[in-house]
């Protein structure tokens, strides 16, 4: 048993089983389970903050490759790159109030609810 960090609101594993995504009310972070041998290099059992949000983070998911994080707040969905060499790159995907959010990493599809309506967005590379 080894504590990693306190005050965590959620956690999500990735298909690359070398990292775990976790978040508190305002911060997204990655915890490396094994050494990251690709640039930027990261050591096992270290954590890196990826993004700070002014709005409370509700839900977050890694994509299948573990290179992007999709996260929701009450006012939309954003994407943040895990590789932060140079600067943090964040993109707004949905700019409206949402009630719920899900992500299919295998199919690269975002789903979100607003009221009784369910929306779907297929991501293209």
In this prediction, residues 90-117 reach a mean pLDDT of 93
Instruction: Name 13's bridge partners.
Output: 20
- CA 24-61-92 angle, 5° bins: 85
Predicted TM-score (pTM) of the model is 0.87
Over the stretch 22-55, which tens digit does the pLDDT of each residue have? 999 999 999 988 888 877 788 898 888 999 999 9
Instruction: Identify the helix (H) or strand (E) that includes residue 73.
Output: strand 68-73
**Would you tell me how many other CB atoms lie within 10 Å of the CB of residue 58?**
18
- Banded model confidence at residue 15, pLDDT cuts 50, 70, 90: low
Contact between 112 and 123 under an 8 Å Cβ cutoff? The reply is no
Residue 14 has pLDDT above 70, yes or no: no
Question: Using one digit for the tens of pLDDT, what is the confidence trace for 78-101?
Answer: 999 988 787 888 999 999 999 999
């Amino acid at each position: 048993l080894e504590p990693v960090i306190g005050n965590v609101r959620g956690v999500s594993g990735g298909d690359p089983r070398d990292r775990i995504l976790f978040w508190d009310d305002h911060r997204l972070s990655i915890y490396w389970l094994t050494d990251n041998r690709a640039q930027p290099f990261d050591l096992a059992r270290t954590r890196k903050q990826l993004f700070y949000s002014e709005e409370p983070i509700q839900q977050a998911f890694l994509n299948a490759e573990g290179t992007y994080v999709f996260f929701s707040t009450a006012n939309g969905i954003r994407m943040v790159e895990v590789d932060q060499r140079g600067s943090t790159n964040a993109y707004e995907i949905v700019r409206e109030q949402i009630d719920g959010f899900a992500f299919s990493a295998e199919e690269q599809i975002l789903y979100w609810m607003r009221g009784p309506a369910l929306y779907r967005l297929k991501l293209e590379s």
